[in-house]
Amino acid sequence: MKKVIRTLLASSILAISVQAAAETKVGFIYVGPKSDYGYNYAQDQGRLYMEEHMDDVETVYFENIPENADVQRVMERMVRSGVEVVFPTSYGYLDHALKVAEKYPDVHFAHSGGLKTSDNLMTYFAEIDQAMYLAGVAAGLTTETNQLGFIAAHPIPQVLRNINAFTRGAQSVNPEVTTSVIWTSSWSDPTKEAEAAEALISGGADVLTGHVDSPINYVQVAERRGVYSVGYHADASQFAPKGWLVGAIWNWGPMMVDIVNSAKDGSWKSEHLRGDLLTEAAMLSDFGAAVSEDDKQTVLDRQKAIMDEEFQVWAGPVIGQDGTVIVEEGDTMTLEETEKMDFLVQGVQGRLK
């Protein structure tokens, strides 16, 4: 209402007939191409879901915006063109978004994955490591060599959470399991990912997963070499009809719709909004034919335990790579602690730095 009055006032003062836009403009900024079949693709699917499910919303987006002052300019440009809700979707956008948010207190910002808020900036993310834990359970039940392979881009908390959750999931059903990690130092380098997959398989790993932009590359190599694969970010089961176990995938749409609605009706809260398996912002994909009915049931039972909050992925004991106890039995890591994770758990082979 305030906005309408202000619009009317502004238009009468300036004596320009401004037709109050019926549509809310929502802007998205991606760090990579929206067609990466991975992280940015998943965020963009959320945008498309919003366009489809909200009549009075218009979306704009910018791709390939680096995490530096450029993104501030992009945000300012969006705001000046009438965007009312901005989704800076990359981790490194946070501080820039905070600056722009301070300058434009009437515009709402929803940052993906950050741990800072301001009056008009909230953060959203989803605990996809729950799904990775479950995928780890499936991998631990399936592996014959007891070696899992993980192709990882950069050692940031989100990636470490997934490596550790996957490994802990596998260990929970098969204590012998180890996970070998190969860092590719790039979110997207298909050749390197394929070669890393080859190296892991010839090293004895028989279930591959990863945290790079697109799961397609390692999933295809795994299928070609006759081993199993677990996807991440997006469902890649069509690339591995034989070896696909399951995947951990995003589903941002409903969450983003809620955020935009809250900005429109004034119920906006500057908080850390976190989805999980229960809200289906992060979820398990369909199982592949390689997973037996019994194993599937084991995974689904564990999923139910997580959803009912009977079981928590980061409940102690959490033991570090070198055997030190990081979380005591009886304790559980807080959201803050998991989102700042900087260690690998016992059973992971590979160096952090």
Q: How far is the CB of 122 from other proteins (least distance, A)?
A: 30
Cα dihedral across residues 39, 41, 47, 50: positive or negative: negative
> What are the CA-CA distances from residue 286 to residues 27, 62, 235, 239, 290 (Å)?
31, 31, 8, 14, 12
Token pair of 125 as six digits? 């993310």
Q: 157 or 316, CB closer to other proteins?
A: 157
Could you say which DSSP state residue 322 is in? T
Q: 182 or 299, CB closer to other proteins?
A: 182
Neighbours of 53 (CB within 10 A): 12
Q: How far is the CB of 24 from other proteins (least distance, A)?
A: 26
Burial class (CB in 10 A: 0-12, 13-18, 19+), 6: exposed
Q: 220 or 303, CB closer to other proteins?
A: 220
Q: How far is the CB of 206 from other proteins (least distance, A)?
A: 13
Q: How far is the CB of 152 from other proteins (least distance, A)?
A: 9
The residues of the shown chain that bind other proteins, judged by CB under 8 A, are: 32-37, 41, 149, 155, 180-186, 188-196, 198-200, 202-203, 213-214, 216-217, 220, 224, 234, 238-239, 349-351, 353
Q: How far is the CB of 224 from other proteins (least distance, A)?
A: 8
Q: 251 or 279, CB closer to other proteins?
A: 251
> What are the CA-CA distances from residue 226 to residues 198, 201, 246 (Å)?
11, 10, 16
Token pair of 35 as six digits? 């067609």
3-state helix, strand, coil in the chain (%, to 5): 40, 20, 40
Q: How far apart are CA 261 and CA 272, in angstroms?
A: 16
Q: How far is the CB of 271 from other proteins (least distance, A)?
A: 34
SS3 of residue 86 by DSSP? strand
Q: 19 or 202, CB closer to other proteins?
A: 202
Q: 82 or 350, CB closer to other proteins?
A: 350
Q: Do 351 and 328 touch, CB atoms closer than 8 A?
A: no
Q: How far is the CB of 127 from other proteins (least distance, A)?
A: 25
Task: Mention every residue, 6+ apart, whose C-beta is less than 8 A from residue 297.
Answer: none
Q: 112 or 220, CB closer to other proteins?
A: 220
- Tokens 């998991």 belong to 338
Q: 173 or 196, CB closer to other proteins?
A: 196
Q: How far is the CB of 138 from other proteins (least distance, A)?
A: 22
